[in-house]
Chains A and B, each alone.
Chain A
Amino acid sequence: MTPSEARDLIPAYADGELDAARRNALEGHLAADCDLRLEVQRWQGLRRCTQRGISTTTVPDGLAERVRARLRAEAGRPRYHPRVYRLGLSGLAAAAALVAGVTLWPRGAVARPVEARGFADIHRVCALLNHHDTLGVRGGQAQADFAPTDGGVAVARLRTRAAMTGAVPDLSRRGLQLAGACTCSPCPELRVVHAYFRSEQGEIISVFAADGPIALCAAGRVCPCCTHGERRYRSSCEGEVSVVCATVNNSSFVLVGTGRGARGLMDLAEGLPLVALPQVGGAAPAPAEEAE
């Protein structure tokens, strides 16, 4: 082994990757050459230093719990026998390709960009101006359906004229009573239940429960993400109205309000049971249709 060959083997030697014959040969060189020994130490130092650098990366609080929650939610979904799965795989793949080809918007886990202004406008028209109160789509009917779920949290199954059912959190413990509900959506492809709540002081908060993940947008760009408490939000300020969006278990929840600001809405949402329940009934009508 020449000195040059010995030097080339230093990294593999430092990593413990040499076979016995080459290791023994190299150790002969190491015993005689101080520079080679130093180089081994430096390679090992680089590894230790990289390890230390990476170990300083902080793991987000609650990540394990969030992963565990997603796994348990996944465990609750129907599973298919592997053989059935394999047999149907090619057919499913073909069907998926067909659906992907004809569907204008990809469904599933892909977050749909939705303008925050759309939520703000619905909040103004439906919640602040009581647009639906004249149409008989009132919260009184939905309020009766507040019921605890298995997890001990209360959600409302809102039945509106369009026979949509959805889940929104119960805000009564936070001084906000359900005042109305509708299925107005900021875009026709998105199925939404919109519930609005009123406090004794007259504050009005809207909660939208969507049947898929949303990437909140403002001015043509996706809003930045931030972590607040245990959840991640996207938020936007639309004039005096603040809009925040959290995605939980592949469903998105949007809170809209005036006066609290985005932080205040996140505080309000903190700890709320944002439970995704299956929505049934017809597709969400366009706002104009609902208003007729």
Chain B
Amino acid sequence: MARADDTSFEAMALPHLESLYRIARRLTQNEHEAEDLVQETYLKAYRAFASYEARVFGIKPWLLRILHNTFLNRLSREKRAPRAVDQQFLDQSSSNSASLVPPELDYEDLDEEVVRALDRLPPEFRAVLLLWATMELSYQEIADVLEVPIGTVMSRLHRARRLMIGALQAYARQRRLLRLQARP
């Protein structure tokens, strides 16, 4: 593997700044904390750049891993580590999943509600959903970033999507956004 040159760090890493900030913004749910998190991520990445080995899929997953670990460290420091999700909550989500298919919605009108639903997800589910939806990463790459087994990624992703759909269906019913036309 080619070891990246120190001087190329800015050229390689800074193009991903906006993506990282958007992930950080949703993880922290706070504009200023997001900026702090991004700055800390870049500093840590810069300091560790000598040990970075370019992979076929580039520097972005590496930066995301640092960002995610930094975020978890901060949560831990603030004694707000992600709590284990209430098993009853998960059981309920799982038992409802048979009847939960993605709602037939006019998604164009739902962007803001999607963000709100995303913000309400537990942090570990939010992280996996963000990486899946916005970073175009494979399940294996998400597993690498989060440092969890691929099975955990699939499980969290499945539950996260179910929770999102549940929230969106509730919103759709409330706003009567469900399409009424018969299926072909």
Contact = CB atoms under 8 A, between A and B. Distances in A.
A166 B101 CA distance: 64
Interface stretch (B83-91, B110-118, B170-178): B110-118
Contacts of B5: none
Interface string A27-65: 000000011001100110111111111111101100110
A198 to B, nearest CB: 34
Interface string B22-43: 1101100001100100110011
A66 interface: yes
B161 A54 contact: no
Contact of B32 (A48, A74, A225): A225
Interface of A is mostly: helix
Residues of B in contact with A, size category: 35 or more
A270 interface: no
B102 A82 contact: no
B43 A70 contact: yes
Nearest to B162: A11
Contacts of B14: 64, 67-68
B183 A46 contact: no
Interface in B83-136: 101-105, 107, 110-112, 114-115, 118, 129-130, 132-134
Contacts of B165: 46
A200 B105 CA distance: 66
A56 B111 contact: yes
Contacts of A59: 17-18, 21-22
A189 interface: no
Interface of B is mostly: helix
A42 to B, nearest CB: 3
Contacts of A49: 107, 110-111, 114
Contacts of B65: none
B38 A67 contact: yes
Contacts, number: 110
Contacts of B132: 15, 47
A23 interface: no
Contact of A42 (B22, B101, B118): B101
A132 interface: no
Interface string B132-143: 111000110000
Nearest to A226: B32
B68 to A, nearest CB: 16
A67 B37 CA distance: 11
Interface in A59-93: 59-60, 63-64, 66-68, 70-71, 74-75, 82
Given A12-B154, A57-B22, A48 B43 contact: no
Contact of A39 (B23, B101, B158): B101
B148 interface: no
Contact of A74 (B35, B47, B157): B47
B102 A54 contact: no
Contact of A70 (B32, B42, B129): B42
Given A51-B134, A67-B38, A46 B161 contact: yes
Interface string A214-242: 00000000000101000010000000000
Those 4 A-B pairs whose CB atoms lie nearest each other, nearest first: A42-B102, A50-B133, A53-B115, A53-B114
18 contacts: A15-B132, A34-B183, A47-B132, A49-B114, A50-B114, A50-B133, A52-B111, A53-B114, A53-B118, A54-B23, A54-B26, A56-B115, A57-B25, A59-B18, A59-B21, A67-B42, A68-B14, A71-B10
Interface of B: 9-10, 14, 17-18, 21-23, 25-26, 31-32, 35, 38-39, 42-43, 46-47, 50-51, 101-105, 107, 110-112, 114-115, 118, 129-130, 132-134, 138-139, 154, 157-158, 161, 164-165, 183-184
